[in-house]
Amino acid sequence: MQHGKYRFIVGFLALPLIIYGVFVLSPFVQAFQISLTDWSGLVGTANFIGLDNFERLWESDDFWNALRHNVYMLALVPVVTLGLGLFFAFMLNVGGRRKKNEVVTGVTGSKFYKFVFFFPQVISITIVAVIWFNIYNPDPNDGMLNSLLGTVGLDSLQNSWLGEKSIALWCISAVMVWGHVGFYVVLFSAAMASIPRDIYEAALLDGANRFHTFFKITLPLLWDAVQTGWVYMGIIALDAFALVQIMSVNNGGPDGATDVMPLRLYVTAFRDSQFGYASAMGIAMLIVTMTFALLTMRFARRERVEF
Amino acid sequence: MTTEEIDAVAKLDTPAPRATGADGPAAKKRVATEGGVLNVFSHGILVVWALMVGVPLLWVLWSAFKDSNGILTDPWGLPTALHWENWSNAWNDANMGQYFINTAIVVGGSVVGTMVLGSMAAYVLARFTFPGNRFIYYLFVAGMSFPVFMLVIPLFFVLRDFPGSTLLATYHGLILVYIAYSLPFTVFFMTSFFRTLPNSVAEAAMIDGASHTRTFFQVMLPMAKPGLISIGIFNFLGQWNQYLLPMVLNQQEEKYVLTQGLAMIALQQGYENDWGALMAGMMIAMLPVLIVYAIFQRQVQAGLTAGAIK
């Protein structure tokens, strides 16, 4: 029996472990090795150069520029996305008409709203990028956003969007928010549905209005979900590769105004063939991501409310 | 959405075997008493957001029937005539047909592979005690926190210099990579799912003389069906929409998957050329996902948010 058991265990684990080891674990280890070399990709031409790549990275204005843009997005995108997500979820679940027998009610059609809001999550980021590329078309008559603004008489707000250095990054951030709000609406809705009704009932008897209900009951009880969502959205803000690559003028332009770390890495590696240097960027990204995740978990920790 | 994003969340939370998609309290009775103003207000805001999300998506649909000139110069106009030729242009001239077949082969292979290998590993890790069990489990789970960008460079060379023949721009190469990158979350999710299944049924099967392998395939897998559906949809969507991995590992045009093909057409065109075909191409790329989403709305929403809910 024992013999059969171990043969079974090995038989079931071997293939998944080999595939995982070859394509995920070994690249993870190799990334550190490559980052210490000046490798250009040809077999057998890598020289060990110690921490030179990291020194170069530290002094690279381009990389700091890209990192800064990721940090800007990290500061803005999660707040806005989670804020809107919470707001809509609250509307959907608690914002409905009062009914005689129920204390809190969702609005009618909440299922339909969730279906629509969630939609951008299931389509490819490439399609999202192409759609918004058209919305931001700079032509005052042809661009979707511009022509809409023109029609309602807000010509003064017309802009060249992605072509305008000062706002291009925010245009791309807006797409990120647009695409992810639905995810949080669904996530928070599920969490809200698990909050017992009698808590709301008690609050209403005590005379709490919806505003109080939200900040004193719903939000504290959702804190775990908010915290997790924050980390998740932060990781997305630290990426932004596909949107920038497809939408931005000249790959990260105009004039580097939308450059982000992953795009730097991609260009350095697969256009310039500086694989050692690009790997160092990868390690830097790992450090930034980990630092962010750990800081969030450290500072967002609160007493858990059991219910 | 890419799998690594979800993975990153899931890592931070304890396993949730199956998240139930909550549908707000059902509106059974329509007895309006109070809160009318707020109701109008909340509906108003919800409608505005629904339009902001829905109209751009519908725009793709109606633009797929317009001629390119119309898309460009009158983006808001409805089609004056149904230009079905956009679809055949996209399928044939813009090679979307080829990209569609490539994607179907790769995703078909990798979803099946991920499910089989992932649930095999998860089953063993969830239900057998042996030395190294925890270590292997955490080895898999750790993969959810690696940024894929850090791995693509070495991964490119692993595939390029693969013993035998290169795996770059091959179906099986891409399938293996998709499986490898989907395993962490699949193992994590299915392990917690197998743990929730009762022991007695498996024991009964063993007493009746079924082997471990048979017990797994004929007894345990059917019992794990709800979990398999959630994670299967999750993997299908993630792999169908995958962009970064094929961009790096699959750089031959005749092997392109849909996301690459669309990006290439879009980047080449700038604000000119055959927009009609591009819009039809986007519809072709979206259709399978749309069908899955329309049928399995609840499971899709539950599956994609599963990692983040307790």
Q: Does B106 reside within a domain? A: yes
- Spell out the residues 6+ positions from residue A209 whose beta carbon is closer than 8 angstroms to its own: none
Please name the residues between 226 and 285 in chain A that touch chain B, using a CB distance below 8 Å. Answer: 228-229, 231-232, 235-236, 239, 241-242, 245-246, 261-262, 265-266, 269-270, 275, 278-279, 282-283, 285
**Domain-embedded: residue B80:** no
Is pLDDT above 60 for A1?
Answer: no
Distances (CA, A) of B104 to B1, B49, B79, B288: 18, 33, 30, 10
Determine contact: A25 vs chain B, CB below 8 A: yes
Residue from the list B123, B286, B302 with its beta carbon closest to the beta carbon of A12: B123
Residue A78 belongs to a domain: yes
Q: What is the mean pLDDT of residues A198-226?
A: 81
Q: Is the pLDDT of residue B86 over 60?
A: yes
Contact B260, B250 (CB under 8 A): yes
Does residue A5 form part of some domain?
Answer: no
Interacting residues of B62 by C-beta distance below 8 A, sequence separation 6+: B78, B79
Query: What length does chain A have?
Result: 307
How large is the average pLDDT for residues A235-246? 88
Q: How far apart are the first and last CA of chain A?
A: 45
- What sections of chain A are H helices per DSSP? 2-20, 26-35, 52-58, 61-94, 110-122, 125-135, 144-151, 168-193, 197-205, 210-212, 219-221, 223-237, 241-247, 261-270, 275-300
B43 located within any domain: no
User: Is residue A13 included in any domain, yes or no?
Assistant: no
Tell me how many domains chain A contains.
1
How large a percentage of chain A has pLDDT more than 70? 93
A105 strand-pairing partners: A95
Q: How far is A172 from chain B (nearest CA, A)?
A: 16
The residue ranking higher by pLDDT, B9 or B161, is B161
Contact B289 A122 (CB under 8 A): yes
What is the pTM for the complete model shown? 0.84
Percent pLDDT > 90 in chain B is 23
For residue A254, cis peptide bond before it (omega within 30 degrees of 0):
yes
- Within 8 A of A97 by CB-CB distance, chain B residues are 32-36, 39
Asked whether residue A25 is domain-assigned, the answer is: no
- The alpha-carbon gap from A7 to the nearest alpha carbon of chain B, in Å, equals 10
**Quick one: closest CA in B to A124, which residue?**
B241
Asked if the model's pLDDT at residue B138 lies above 80, the reply is yes
Assess if residue A20 is contained within a domain.
no
Note the pLDDT of residue B19: 38
Q: Higher pLDDT residue, B84 or A65? A: A65
CA Rg, chain A, in Å?
Answer: 24
For residue A6, being part of any structural domain is answered with no
CA distance to partner chain A, nearest, from residue B102 (Å): 16
Task: List CB contacts of A234: < 8 A, sequence separation 6 or more.
Answer: A74, A78, A292, A293, A296
**CB contact (8 A) between residue A127 and residue B262:** yes
Instruction: Pick the more confident residue, B140 or B66.
Output: B140
The pLDDT assigned to B40 comes to: 74
CATH of the domain at A249: 1.10.3720.10
Q: Would you call A133 an interface residue with chain B, using a CB distance cutoff of 8 Å?
A: yes
Task: State the number of CA atoms in the 13 A half-sphere of A43 facing the CB.
Answer: 5
With bands split at pLDDT 50, 70 and 90, how would you rate the model's confidence at A91?
confident
pLDDT at residue B215 above 70? Answer: yes
Residues of B in contact with A275 (CB under 8 A): 153, 157
Range of the domain at B124: 3-20+87-308
Give the distance between the most distant pair of CA atoms in chain B.
Answer: 74
Is A73 part of a structural domain of the chain? yes
Instruction: Say if CB A43 and CB B161 are below 8 A apart.
Output: yes
pLDDT for B34: 45
Q: Is residue B71 part of a domain?
A: no
Nearest to B259 by CA among A144, A124, A140, A13: A124
Q: Residue A52's pLDDT is what?
A: 83
Question: Average pLDDT in the B180-194 region?
Answer: 91
**Buried (b) or exposed (e) across A66-103, using 16+ Cβ within 10 A?**
bbebbeebbebbbebbbebbbbbbbbbbbbbbbbeebb
Q: How far apart are CA A274 and CA A271, in angstroms?
A: 8
Q: Does B301 sit within 8 Å of A186, measured CB to CB?
A: yes
Question: What is the dihedral angle through the alpha carbons of A237, A241, A243, A248, rounded to the nearest 10 degrees?
Answer: 110
- Phi, psi for A106 (deg, rounded to 5): -80, 165
Q: Check CB contact under 8 Å for B120 and A13.
A: yes
Cα–Cα distance for residue pair B142/A110, rounded to 1 Å = 37
What is the C-alpha to C-alpha distance for residues A162 and A190, in angstroms, rounded to an integer? 36
Tell me: pLDDT of A72 over 90: yes
- Our CA-based measurement puts residue B22 at a distance from the nearest CA of chain A, in whole angstroms, of 5
- For residue range A15-60, what is the model confidence (pLDDT) as tens digits? 999 999 999 999 999 999 888 888 887 777 777 887 888 888 898 8
- Put simply, the answer to whether A31 touches B151 (Cβ < 8 Å) is yes
Å from B200 to nearest chain A CA? 18
- CB atoms near residue B198 (< 10 Å): 8
In a domain, A175, yes or no: yes
Q: What is the CA radius of gyration of chain B?
A: 23
Please state the rounded mean pLDDT for residues B9-14. 38
Supply the pLDDT for residue A251: 80
The CATH number assigned to the domain holding B152 equals: 1.10.3720.10
Q: Is the pLDDT of residue A183 over 70?
A: yes
**pLDDT-above-90 percentage for chain A:** 23
Structural domain of A240: 54-300
Name which of B182, B130, B144, B174 is nearest B156 in CA terms.
B174
**A142 close contact with B: CB closer than 8 A:** yes
| Domain count across chain B | 1
